[in-house]
Structures are given as C-alpha cells and as structure tokens.
Amino acid sequence: MLKLNNVYFSYHNDTPREIQVLRGVSLSLGKGEYISLVGNNGSGKSTLAKVISGLLKPTEGTVTWSSKENGCLKPSLRKRVGLILQNPDNQIVSGIVEEDVAFGLENLEIPPVEIKRKVEDTLRSLHLWDKKDYPTHLLSGGEKQKLAIASIVVMEPECLILDEATVLLDYRSKEQVLETIRFLKKTKGITIVQITSCIDEVIPSERVILLDKGKVCYDGHISPFLRDSEVMGLIGFDLPAYAAISQELIGMGFIKEICYTREELADKLLWEYQYRN
C-alpha cells in the first residue's frame, strides 16, 4: 500500500546545526496491518509518522503509494492517512466539539446529512456525545485526546496512525477507542499504526517496528520480538505482566506455556487444574 525507500529527514529550525532524525528508513505498510511503532524518546517516531502522512517531506529518499488500489482512484493523502498527533492541542481546529469532528469531512465534500450522522456515530462510540456543544478549549486532557481521535477516525482513513494518542485515557476510554478502531479494521480493512511506550499495548498488534536513533532496528512479527531480550532491552521493555507471571508459574510446574493476556492465562490455568483433577 505504502513504501518508504531509504528515507532521511533532518530538522533545520533549532540549533545552527541540522538535527538528523531519520537515517535511511525503508519499510512498507500493507492493507489491514496492525503495527506497533516503538522506540525511545527522541528516536524519531513522531517524525516518521509525519513523513508517512505527508506532513513532512523527506530530505532524501521516497514515499510512494501503490496507485492501482481502490479501482485506480487517487483520493487525497488526507483521506488516505489519518495521523492523530501526540499533543491534541496541535490538532483541534474548531471552537466547538461537534464542529471540530465535522471539519475534516466538510473538506472532503460529503453531503451534510451524512456528515451529521457520521459525527454523531463517532462521538457516541467514544462517549463524547454529551460534550458535543462544549467549547473545545474547556475540555479536560483526556476529553481533548478523545476529540482528537474522533476527528480523525470519523474520516475513515485507509491508514490510521495513533501517536501516543491514548496516554491520558482511563482504561474504559481506551477500550472504547480500541473497539472503534478494531471495527474499522474489520469492516474497512484499514491499516493501524500505533506509537506506544507500553509493552502491554503492543501485545494485540501483529507486527512491531522498532526505531533507534532514526534507524529501523527491528521490523517483524510480534512473537520473536517478545522473545528477543536484546531488542526489548534496547527500549527498556520488560516482559509483559502476564508473561512474567506465567513464566513464574511455568517454573512451578502449574502451566507449560507463556501467556500474554489475562484470558489466555486464566484459561491455561483452568485447563491444567481440570486436567489434573
């Protein structure tokens, strides 16, 4: 769907020196993939996200979209990539919640009735509907993050990039967001790229891309990633909580395999319990 070929990017706006952030990044994103983009602070994740979404132009290298998809139509990049920025204040453009969510759709020339329906559906799915008339600058931190997510998700981009977009959300709100984007993945086959620093959030993704000092150090399936202590250590990741507990339980002879979710762990334990009984 999208290919980055040997992409370099430098900022020139700060110190007299340029700051080289991306150093030869090559990767491709396929339709319907669910990817975690991880790396230490300052490793270049947000910059890469902006390059993918066309907000920044690479200093060197190319970003190309395969054009033959979707019956050869070439919608604008805005429709193709939806980037939810790390700081929602940089993204909220309207004074009122409902208007902010409608803003992107209005630019896509969608009929007003349909806009209204889509905006309502999205706000409801994120439990923000009761704030629809609220001035955006009076929202709480988490409410702003929900709004930023709503404004992008409502456009149903082909590729959705979440840049630490849920860090201020409580677990119920996080679940609402996950449900909303999983639904889009299932029904529209959208690609999801989530930038996160939390190992437990990485678990449900299928592929992990690790950036270190602007270079891709790992790009592959999640299972080998979790087993590679060197790669995990590079970004200070511990074993996910459930995996650590199950390792201890394996040591004690209660279960035989590492589990990565609560359900999985409970099921394995229960199975062993019943089997031995």
Partner 1 sequence: MGISVQELTHIYNFGFPWEKKALDSISFSVEDGEGFAVLGGVGSGKSTLAQHINGLLFPTTGEVVVDGITVKPGVNLQELRRAVGMVFQFPETQLFGETVYEDVAFGLRNLGFPEEAVEFQVQEALHLVGFNPLAIRYRNPLFLSGGEKRKVALAGVLAMKSSILVLDEPISGLDARGKKEVLTFLKEYKKINNSIIIYITHSLEEALSICERGIILSEGKLVYHGGLKEYFIKNEDWKNLNIEPPINRGIALTLKEKGLKINDRIITRLELIKEIEECFKTIRA
For residues 40 to 59, the per-residue mask of contacts with ligand ATP, x marking binding by CB under 6 A and - elsewhere, is -xxxxxxx------------
Q: By C-beta, is 232 or 255 nearer to ligand ATP?
A: 232
Q: By C-beta, is 30 or 135 nearer to partner 1?
A: 135
Among 72, 171, 187, 230, binds partner 1 (CB under 8 A): 171
Taking the C-alpha atoms of residue 25 and residue 12, their distance in angstroms, rounded to an integer, is 19
Both structure tokens of 71: 């019956």
Q: Is residue 205 close enough to count as binding partner 1 by CB under 8 A?
A: no
Using CB under 6 A, which of the segments 8-16, 74-82, 89-97, 230-238 binds ligand ATP?
8-16
Q: Is residue 143 close enough to count as binding partner 1 by CB under 8 A?
A: yes
For residues 79 to 98, the per-residue mask of contacts with Mg ion, x marking binding by CB under 5 A and - elsewhere, is -------x------------
For residues 108 to 147, the per-residue mask of contacts with ligand ATP, x marking binding by CB under 6 A and - elsewhere, is ------------------------------xxxxxx----
| Distance in Å, CB of 46 to Mg ion, minimum | 3
Among 1, 3, 11, 264, binds ligand ATP (CB under 6 A): 11
Among 76, 106, 188, 270, binds partner 1 (CB under 8 A): 270
Burial label for 114, CB within 10 Å (0-12, 13-18, 19+), is: exposed
Residue with tokens 């592929």: 207
Q: For strand 60-65 and strand 2-11, is the pairing parallel, antiparallel, or unpaired?
A: antiparallel
Q: Is residue 129 close enough to count as binding partner 1 by CB under 8 A?
A: no
Q: Is residue 43 close enough to count as binding Mg ion by CB under 5 A?
A: no
Taking the C-alpha atoms of residue 152 and residue 85, their distance in angstroms, rounded to an integer, is 10
Q: What angle do CA 233, 238, 239 make, to 5 degrees?
A: 120
Among 30, 95, 112, 141, binds partner 1 (CB under 8 A): 141
152 near 160, Cβ under 8 Å?
yes
Q: What angle do CA 121, 126, 128 make, to 5 degrees?
A: 90
Tell whether the torsion through CA atoms of 183, 186, 189 and 192 is positive or negative.
positive
Which whole-number Å values give the CA distances from 9 to 33, 54, 114, 161, 220, in the listed order?
Answer: 25, 13, 39, 19, 23
| Distance in Å, CB of 170 to partner 1, minimum | 4
